[in-house]
């Protein structure tokens, strides 16, 4: 059984917002993202939040140092206190946020990207209305306010590691695991977490140099982890993304275990009665949840929407196929390392391949079409609606503009791979023809 909590939008996610997308302000450094913009963002967000203390973390991008300094200048110039914690995973900033939390990161994007995302004092991503208010303040910048300052916080990453071990850890003695840190914010921390719980760990993507975050490694590129698993004796592999809020897994045979399957494993192991997922979640997952009597809330794409649904419905578990998986007991947002620890515990001695074989997924195909427009044309939406009506539950098509990249994303799902391929190709060609 499922319901819809805010269906997919046909317009660009973010509505009237000029800078904020689905996950903060993000773009290529030197083009969309500049020190001047980040400084103004810091000033506007601090003014909006009441000029309190702002915890600032960043990932491992080379551009992060200068942008962190720019953000701190903006916070201080608005009369706030910028508390710089250095390299810190995004979920740690959310969990530790003061009056405001800010992360200098472009998450899973390549190294040339960077950005800023904010959390309120409860560790929640800001709703669209608050981001719009910050944009208004950004455009009506009134200059400096006295009384601001910049401080530095040592040991924040270690404190976060201790929290995860205490609240999410279990005895992992004998487990052989490969951990891909994406050369990102969890480099060093994630391997130590598993080692301290007794696992035998091989770390890859664990040498950030400022230019290699998410490059050929991590949750956005599983090839290195798959080669590692297939080339040795491992029970599983986990891959984090650059800022640490996403995770995907690879089983002992080197096969990918996506966010849907991870979520299914946890739903059954943790004994929940409801979950929140996005419109991207496989129809096979929905069938399994229905069989087990677990209610499914369906939201638009983006972990912020999943979080909103969980808080509204009183749920604890939710996530996305892409690897944003959320467990709200002892946390406030999705945390790749926390979920990896829960996944290892949920295996209870089983191979990951066995645990993941809970349902037969519908074959899916996806396409990303580069575009300049911010909306899907009406004729595309009409054709998608016609085909979905024709499929009558035997499959589906979803088309939406990305909130983080200049592309339109197409997803098709059907009972056979050939039909899914055909549906995806038809809509992708239509998008290219209408927006090309």
> Which residues belong to the active site?
107
Distance CA(321)–CA(260), nearest Å, equals: 5
Query: Which residues face 317 on adjacent strands?
Result: 327
Q: What is the SS3 assignment for 111?
A: coil
Distance CA(293)–CA(317), nearest Å, equals: 15
Q: What is the SS3 assignment for 65?
A: helix
Would you state the structure tokens that stand for residue 247, as one six-digit string? Answer: 């995770």
Q: Residue 74's closest CA among 48, 107, 105?
A: 48
- Where helices occur in 281-331 by DSSP H, the ranges are 283-291, 303-313
Distance CA(116)–CA(71), nearest Å, equals: 9
Query: Which residues face 54 on adjacent strands?
Result: 82, 100
Would you state the structure tokens that stand for residue 92, as one six-digit string? Answer: 């740690």
Residue 372 neighbours by CB distance under 10 Å: 7
Would you state the structure tokens that stand for residue 357, as one six-digit string? Answer: 């074989």
**HSE-CB for 132 with a 13 A CA cutoff:** 8
Distance CA(402)–CA(387), nearest Å, equals: 22
Distance CA(142)–CA(236), nearest Å, equals: 54
Q: What is the SS3 assignment for 148?
A: coil
316 Cα distance to chain centroid: 17
Distances from the Cα of 217 to the Cα of 97, 205, 247, 323, 348, angstroms: 29, 6, 12, 15, 28
Q: Residue 216's closest CA among 235, 193, 239?
A: 239
DSSP letters for 91-149: HHHHHH-SSEEEEE--TTS-TTEEEEEEEETTSPBPPHHHHHHHHHHHHT-----TT-E
Q: Which residue has the tokens 């809330």?
A: 297
Query: Which residues face 135 on adjacent strands?
Result: none
CB 116 within 8 A of CB 41: yes
């Amino acid at each position: 059984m499922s319901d819809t909590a805010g269906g997919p939008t046909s317009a660009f996610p973010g509505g009237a917002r000029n800078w904020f997308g689905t996950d903060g302000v993000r773009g290529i450094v030197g083009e969309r993202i500049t020190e001047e913009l980040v400084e103004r963002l810091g000033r506007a967000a601090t003014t909006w939040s009441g000029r309190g203390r702002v915890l600032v973390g960043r990932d491992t991008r080379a551009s992060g140092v200068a942008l962190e300094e720019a953000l701190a200048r903006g916070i201080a110039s608005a009369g706030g206190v910028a508390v710089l914690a250095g390299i810190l995973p995004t979920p740690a900033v959310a969990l530790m946020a003061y009056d405001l939390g800010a992360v200098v990161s472009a998450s899973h994007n390549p190294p040339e990207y960077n950005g800023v995302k904010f959390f309120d004092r409860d560790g929640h991503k800001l709703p669209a209305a608050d981001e719009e208010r910050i944009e208004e303040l950004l455009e009506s910048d009134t200059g400096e306010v006295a009384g601001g300052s910049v401080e530095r916080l040592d040991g924040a990453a270690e404190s976060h590691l201790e929290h995860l071990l205490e609240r999410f850890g279990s005895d992992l003695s004998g487990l052989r695991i490969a951990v891909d840190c994406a050369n990102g914010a969890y480099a060093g921390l994630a391997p130590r977490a598993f080692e301290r719980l007794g696992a035998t760990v091989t770390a890859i993507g664990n040498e950030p140099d400022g230019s290699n975050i998410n490059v050929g490694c991590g949750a956005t590129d599983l090839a290195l982890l798959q080669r590692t698993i297939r080339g040795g004796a491992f029970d599983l592999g986990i891959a984090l993304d650059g800022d640490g809020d996403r995770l995907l897994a690879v089983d002992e045979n080197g096969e990918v275990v996506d966010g849907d399957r991870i979520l299914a494993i946890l739903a059954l192991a943790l004994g929940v009665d409801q979950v929140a997922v996005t419109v991207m979640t496989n129809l096979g997952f929905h069938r399994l949840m229905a069989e087990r009597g677990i209610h499914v809330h369906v939201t638009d794409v983006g972990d912020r929407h999943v979080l909103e649904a969980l808080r509204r419905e009183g749920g604890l578990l939710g996530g996305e196929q892409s690897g944003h998986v959320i467990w709200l007991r002892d946390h406030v947002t999705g945390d790749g390392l926390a979920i990896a620890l829960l996944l290892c515990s949920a295996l209870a001695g089983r191979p990951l391949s066995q645990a993941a074989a809970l349902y037969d997924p519908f074959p899916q195909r996806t396409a990303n079409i580069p575009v300049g427009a911010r909306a899907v044309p009406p004729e595309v939406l009409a054709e998608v609606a016609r085909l979905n009506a024709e499929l009558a539950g035997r499959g589906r098509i979803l088309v939406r503009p990305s909130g983080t990249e200049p592309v339109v994303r197409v997803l098709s799902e059907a009972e056979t791979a050939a039909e899914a391929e055909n549906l995806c190709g038809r809509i992708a060609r239509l998008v290219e023809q209408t927006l090309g």
